[in-house]
Amino acid sequence: MPDKRPPRVPARWIVRTAWVVHRGLYRVTAGRVGLWRPKGTRWGALRLTTVGRRSGKRRSVILAYFEDGPNLVLLSMNGWGEGEPAWSRNLRAAPEATAEVAGRPHQVRARLAEGDEHSRLWDRWRHFDKELDGYAGLRTTPTTVFVLEPR
C-alpha cells in the first residue's frame, strides 16, 4: 500500500489574497454575500468580532464553522499555517464576542473544547473536510477547537 501524501496547501500569498477578497466581497455587498449556514457536507461561514487583546479595538474575521446544537464550532487553524491566528489569541484573552451568522448577530462566549468533546467535534469536522487530519499534520502545534456558546 503506497504512503498517503499530505494534502497540498496553497502558497501563503494565495491564502491571504482569498481572505482579503472574501472580506472585501462581504463589505461591498453590505453583508449580503460572504456568510452562509452549514448545509449537508459543507461548512458555514460566519463573521466573528473579538476585542483585540492589546489594542482593545474590535476586530472582525470571517471563519468556517458548523453548528453543534445551539453552539458554533470553529477551528483555530491560521490557514493551516504555523501559529495561532490573532482572533484565537483575542478569544483566549476576552472570550465574549459577537458571531454574525447569515446576517444575524449573536452574542457568544468562547471556550476551548477539551477531552472527549474535542475528539467528538474534531470527528464532526471530518464530515466537512476529509483531509482534516492531513492538514493538521502539517502543523507542529495542535489545532484548537473553539466552542461559541450563546450568551
8 A C-beta contact, residue 143 and residue 129: no
The dihedral through the CA atoms of 19, 24, 30, 32 has a sign that is: negative
Give residue-wise pLDDT tens across range 94-128: 999 999 998 899 999 999 999 999 999 999 999 99
Arithmetic mean of pLDDT, 1-9: 67
Only one residue has cell 484565537, namely 88
Arithmetic mean of pLDDT, 35-50: 93
pLDDT reading at 3 higher than 70: no
* Bridging pattern class, strands 144-150 and 58-68: unpaired
Tell me how far apart the alpha carbons of residues 133 and 75 are, in angstroms, rounded to a whole number.
Answer: 12
Q: Tell me, what amino acid is at 140?
A: T
Q: Tell me, what amino acid is at 59?
A: R
**Single pTM value for the model:** 0.88
CA dihedral 102, 49, 149, 66 (to 10 degrees): 50
Arithmetic mean of pLDDT, 33-61: 93
Arithmetic mean of pLDDT, 50-66: 94
Residue 76: which pLDDT band, with cuts at 50, 70 and 90?
A: very high
pLDDT reading at 10 higher than 80: no
Residue 10's SS3 state is coil
Residue-range domains of the chain with CATH:
38-150 (2.30.110.10)
